């Protein structure tokens, strides 16, 4: 098979190449990972953590190389590349600090107080398979692998064939930090390789589009394989009267145009109370028009390229369809072939039909639609009127008002006075509802998903133990006595 060439989406230059995995390559990688995992799982958490700690420091030290690699295969800006490094390091620090406590076995209430006991333990699945996308190639491949490794698993990763170089670099840094190379394997190829991976591993984690996520879920279901799926989003932002319009506008720009809008939690639709709609629209449009586009290793650019020209075609198709159906352009809406084949200007639209494709389908590009609403209640209704439920943003006069709205929004996460912060709030879970997926990363959920719960219950042994207790009930009188005890039991504090 011919090597897969990785091209810079801006210049078209070849950034590198990888060899596509055959079935035998994949089965060998999983076999080696399974063998290495048996020893790895018997090591203490602190022994595993020492390697991840060394990796954390190495990532910081090697940041310029990581940034170069990310930029070369994605076309994103230096700042957006830095965001990946920051989040990978943050993920490592969080699980180094909290992972051992989360994974430690816990004593639970027994069936009968004082004479029985229970314990909840967390065992690694074995070999974890990860299928990761192109939009955050270093972050989504490495940050998802770290808790899996700390939990005692081996990892076999299939990164996007468009952006495999960042994952390769991340694995190299882990190996240089002391990780057994067999514990983290990478297999390259298209969706067919991903399908084969699902047939061989003990758990599958997928990040990507909802359509592909359904296929992953169906393939996992055939094997009754546990899985987590972080899928698409059409994330709303709500701006209420009394909010600082300048601050909300700056938050919107960060939340909509980071990584050229190619972010699963980015803002694509904004609902603004009508009394402030015109002023807010003007502020956002003016600031959007001042954003600097381009691709270079400098730090002065605000937005980079989309991943390839076909994706830019899709984004422009959404914009043009909206305009044909009455949308008004306040900023952007132009292809910038002078900068590269996949550049689309950051775009602000108004007067967009709520049923237009750009209002209901994930665009995954630098496009924001603004909609006036008459009240806070209407904002909540239209924000929830979506098949997606990944992330949302609320800006209000004070935190109490914002919290009241946040609690009514159907999304896995809601940010107040923020848009993208959920990805770095490591102590709480991140994930979606509805067609935005199942499962969570971050927090205790983010490491426990890579384990299987094992309950260990202990009974007294005398006269056959707990299981023989009911066999001693030989009359109605004894049964009535037992039932009276049960009725009193509910009223005894602490042992219910």
Active site residues: 230, 264
> How far is Cα 251 from Cα 86, in angstroms, rounded to an integer?
19
3-class SS at 204? strand
44, with CB counted inside 10 A (0-12, 13-18, 19+), is: exposed
Using a 10 angstrom Cβ sphere, with 0-12 exposed, 13-18 middle and 19 or more buried, the burial of residue 486 is exposed
What residues are paired with 230 via a beta bridge? Answer: 207, 437
DSSP secondary structure string, 15-37? Answer: EEEEPPPPHHHHHHHHHHHHHHH
CB 345 within 8 A of CB 336: yes
For 30-36, the CB contacts below 8 A with 24+ separation are 30/127, 30/156, 30/185, 30/200, 30/201, 32/182, 32/185, 33/127, 33/154, 33/155, 33/156, 33/182, 33/183, 33/184, 33/185, 34/126, 34/127, 34/154, 35/182, 36/154, 36/180, 36/182, 36/183
Q: Are 311 and 342 in contact (CB under 8 A)?
A: yes
From CA 157, how far away is CA 161, in angstroms rounded? 12
> Beta strands of 317-450 (E only): which ranges?
328-331, 347-350, 367-373, 388-389, 391-395, 413-416, 433-434, 437-438
The C-alpha atoms of residue 181 and residue 294 are separated, in whole angstroms, by: 37
DSSP 8-class letter at 3: P
């Amino acid at each position: 098979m011919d090597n897969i060439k990785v091209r810079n989406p801006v210049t078209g230059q070849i950034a590198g190449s990888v060899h596509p995995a055959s079935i035998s390559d994949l089965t060998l990688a999983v076999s080696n990972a399974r063998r290495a995992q048996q020893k790895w799982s018997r090591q203490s958490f602190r022994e595993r953590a020492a390697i991840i700690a060394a990796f954390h420091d190495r990532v910081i030290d090697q940041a310029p190389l990581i940034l170069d690699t990310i930029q070369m295969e994605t076309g994103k800006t230096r700042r957006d590349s830095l965001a990946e490094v920051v989040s990978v390091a943050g993920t490592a620090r969080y699980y180094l600090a909290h992972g051992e406590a989360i994974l430690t076995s816990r004593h639970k209430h027994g069936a009968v107080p004082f004479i029985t006991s229970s314990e909840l333990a967390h065992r690694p699945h074995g070999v974890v398979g990860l299928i990761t996308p192109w939009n955050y190639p270093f972050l989504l491949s490495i940050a998802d692998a770290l808790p899996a490794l700390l939990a005692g698993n081996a990892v076999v990763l299939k990164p996007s064939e468009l952006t495999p170089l960042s994952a390769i670099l991340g694995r190299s840094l882990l190996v240089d930090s002391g990780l057994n190379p067999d514990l983290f394997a990478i297999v390259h190829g298209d969706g067919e390789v991903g399908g084969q991976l699902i047939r061989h591993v003990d758990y599958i984690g997928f990040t990507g589009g909802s359509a592909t996520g359904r296929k992953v879920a169906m393939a996992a279901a055939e094997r009754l394989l546990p899985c987590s799926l972080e899928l698409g989003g059409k994330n709303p932002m709500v701006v209420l009267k009394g909010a600082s319009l300048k601050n909300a506008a700056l938050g919107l720009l960060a939340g909509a145009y980071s990584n050229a809008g190619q972010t699963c939690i980015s803002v694509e639709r904004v609902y603004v109370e009508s009394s402030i709609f015109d002023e807010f629209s003007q502020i956002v449009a003016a600031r959007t028009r001042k954003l600097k586009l381009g691709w270079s290793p400098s730090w002065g650019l605000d937005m980079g390229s989309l991943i390839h020209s076909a994706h830019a075609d899709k984004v422009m198709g959404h914009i043009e369809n909206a305009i044909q159906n009455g949308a008004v352009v306040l900023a952007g809406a132009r292809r910038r072939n002078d900068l590269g084949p996949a550049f689309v200007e950051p775009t602000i639209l108004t007067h967009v039909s709520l049923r237009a494709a750009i209002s209901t389908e994930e665009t995954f590009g630098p496009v924001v639609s603004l909609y006036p609403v008459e009240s806070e209640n209407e904002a909540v209704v239209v924000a929830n009127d979506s098949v997606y439920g990944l992330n949302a943003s609320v800006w209000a006069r004070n935190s109490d008002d914002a919290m009241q709205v946040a609690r009514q929004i159907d999304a896995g996460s809601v940010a107040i006075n923020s848009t993208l912060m959920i990805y770095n709030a490591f102590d709480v879970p991140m994930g979606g509802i509805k067609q935005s997926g199942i499962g969570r990363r971050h927090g205790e959920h983010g490491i426990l998903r890579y384990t299987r719960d094992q309950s260990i219950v202990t009974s007294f042994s005398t006269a056959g133990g707990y299981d023989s207790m009911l066999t001693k009930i030989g009359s109605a009188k004894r049964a009535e006595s037992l039932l009276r005890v049960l009725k009193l039991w509910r009223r005894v504090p602490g042992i219910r």
